[in-house]
Chains A and B, each alone.
Chain A
Amino acid sequence: MSSEKPTGNLLTPTRRGLLVGAATLSATAMLPQFARADVPPTSAVNTTGLAVTDTEVTVGILHSVTGTMAISETGSVEAEKLAIEQINAQGGVLGRKIKFIQEDGASDWPTFAEKAKKLLVQDKCAAVMGCWTSASRKAVLPVFEQYNGMLYYPTFYEGLEQSKNVIYTGQEATQQILAGLNWVEKEKGAKTFYLLGSDYIWPRTSNKIARKHIENVLKLKVVGEEYFPLGSTQFNSVINKMKLVKPDVIYAIIVGGSNVAFYKQLKAAGIDLNKQTLMTISVTEDEILGIGGENIVGAYACMKYFQSLDNPNNKAFVPAFKKMWGENTVIGDVTQAAYLGPWLWKLTAEKAGSFDIDKIAAASPGVEFKGAPEGYVRIHENHHLWSKTRVGRARDDGQYDVIYETAELMEPDPFPKGYQ
């Protein structure tokens, strides 16, 4: 990971992003005065009537803090607030402090759409960090396209989407799946796979991609594929079935409360994940809090970020996060991706020299963020991120040991040919 900061460039405006995380505190003292010196006039950076003044720029945060999804979205809200605070401590964006307006999507998709409209039409937000489930993103997408807003969406998701008005800071499905399957084939000599998932679009699409990759590319066998209604809490039957079929790899994309039930019952049924290979793309450090580390120890997760990642950016990010939100908080993959949103927007605005949505959308491809806790990311033409895929092995304390990462950044491919 190349996250060393070229110190000679520290003070040029477009390079300010390099400071992120690692050197935030040390550098903040001198930056504001510097930034004041060349604040571009509001008329130049805002030609479309966004909420930008000479000293402030307004962004929106749109997540569920009540309802079912609050469980998952809390981390994203926390990460976005941290990023905004850090950016402000460094002097803000184009010399303006970020002010945020937070709205609650309340785990209800129409509410998301309504609040998105409020943030764009009434509050004139220059950017919105938000949404978590695909359903909420699909609900707000027409709003962002109609009123020309900019959404930074943090969750890894099934792909099959691309919009001028959205930057996807999480992985699309192929980025999360393919490298992990290759790894498990090579390292574990896996021949047979049993695919499991909760019954909705993300697990189904992801398993479809996984199956195509297993059968067509790796030339291996899928011996079972099953889905469970969201919220299902009984897995004994499928566990018995797997005991009979004995797959080399259990590939699990189970989400929410079901997750907890699944791993607890797996353990109770005497399946030791140190011996039975299990790979998941739906369990981050956040989920392990509910599952209990002792119930999932030994499982492999395929993500782009783990809290235990060993690089200078992450070593600054984790303590900063804990300082703001408490020693006991954990940081999962999506939380990190949410942290990227405000930074990428800041870097893009500085590259474009403007807050105008059209200019931001056009300037986004190629924007790189070297201060990302995951290492280094760059925005692709298709508004997704180039990022590495990593495999972690669950420890009993709820953290992952990172045991593999792809050598190269994985190209985002939201419409993968041959996988649909």
Chain B
Amino acid sequence: MFGYSLGELGSILVMQGFSGLILFSVYLLMALGLAIIFGQMGVINMAHGEFMILGAYMTYFCSHLFQSHLPTLYAGYFFVAMIVAFIVSGAAGLFVEWALIQRLYKRPLDTLLATWGLSLIMQQAFRSGFGAREVGVELPPWMMGSLQVTDTIEVQINGLFVMGLTLLITAGVALLLFKSRWGLQVRSVVANRTMAGAVGIDTRRIDRFTFGLGCGIAGIAGSAFTMIGSTGPTAGQLYIVDTFLVVVFGGAQSLLGTIASAFTISQSQSTLEFFLTGSMAKVLTLLIVIGILMLRPQGLFALKVRR
């Protein structure tokens, strides 16, 4: 750490803080979809990563479509791609809920197995449909590179983009949950499913929309991650562990918990990574998480729920 000028250290501090924030956004975006599904329905969607990759493939598909048919609008294709990703993943989610999940509500552990099976099926479907090799998603030039803030401080554009997107979607979800009629119904189902049903809330319908929305958000996340990660049949597996970590650590039923947990994990990961090495940082982060979960098994923030 020594032998560098103060200025250099200052810039690194800024850039390092920024990469921590990017990591935070990435974790939050990954975990949101899973968190709302798990929070409301108690269903752990093991195929979450595959819904993300479905979104990533839609982005790949859109980039090709725009390149060959609408080259003039290419610079903006990414926005269209994210909407397409949301719709396709969301629709797939609705279908899966209808075909599979709704039959297993009384057997929550079996949903674990069923969605895991689903993830394998989806992986092989990607492999058969798009080929076993990874595909490269080309980005419009304006999304690559970095902004030169000062001589030594550079800020990645795609990082800013992910941060903005995460902010937007989190705000959207929060609005939906706390201001809309649907959100009110969701919260009442979370608080007490039987009672909510008794006062006339169609819990089945709420479940289906929640699952669809969760998968749709996963699709958007997958689409955004084509900027920073790979797109291949099994790439979803790369995200799933971190996603679970964030959701479980945050406390399953709380949006605030998910945010706080994503922040804690990303900051410790990125700081430790800077001072130690990548592998060691991961080990220590996991140890910290395990330690805290031993003290607080319900996660960082837990809603009071009547069971």
Residues of A that sit less than 8 Å from B by CB = 65-68, 70-71, 74, 199, 225-229, 231-234, 236-241, 243-244, 256-261, 264-265, 267-270, 286-295
Contacts and interface: CB of A to CB of B under 8 A. Distances in A.
Interface in B200-249: 225, 227-235, 237-239
Given A232-B278, A232-B282, A233-B228, 12 more contacts: A70-B132, A199-B279, A231-B237, A233-B230, A234-B269, A237-B270, A238-B273, A240-B12, A264-B158, A268-B157, A270-B156, A292-B138
Nearest to B231: A290
Contact of B4 (A68, A71, A244, A294): A244
Contact of B279 (A228, A243, A268, A292): A228
Contact of A268 (B144, B232, B281): B144
Given A70-B127, A237-B16, A260-B134, A268 B273 contact: no
Q: Which of B137, B156, B227 has the most CB of A within 10 A?
A: B156
B3 to A, nearest CB: 10
Contacts of B159: 236, 268
Nearest to A265: B228
A290 B23 CA distance: 22
A131 B270 CA distance: 36
A229 B282 contact: yes
A205 to B, nearest CB: 16
B135 interface: yes
Interface string B133-145: 1111110000011
B229 A292 contact: no
B274 A67 contact: no
B126 to A, nearest CB: 11
Contacts of A70: 127, 132, 233
Nearest to A227: B279
A228 B269 CA distance: 12
Contacts of B26: 234
Given A237-B270, A237-B273, A243-B15, A292 B136 contact: yes
Contacts of B227: 264, 268
A270 B132 contact: no
A134 B235 CA distance: 21
B22 interface: yes
12 contacts: A67-B234, A68-B234, A71-B234, A225-B277, A232-B278, A236-B156, A236-B159, A240-B274, A258-B238, A261-B228, A265-B156, A292-B137
Contact of A291 (B12, B136, B146, B238): B136
A260 B234 CA distance: 13
B154 interface: yes
B96 to A, nearest CB: 21
A237 B144 contact: no
Given A71-B233, A257-B230, A290 B134 contact: yes
Contact of B228 (A231, A243, A264): A264
A289 to B, nearest CB: 6
A261 to B, nearest CB: 5
Nearest to A64: B132
A37 B149 CA distance: 78
Nearest to B147: A270
B110 interface: no
Interface string B1-35: 00010001000100110010011001000000000
B157 A238 contact: no
B134 A269 contact: no
A265 B19 CA distance: 11
A276 to B, nearest CB: 13
Contact of A226 (B127, B131, B278): B278
A295 B138 CA distance: 9
B20 to A, nearest CB: 8
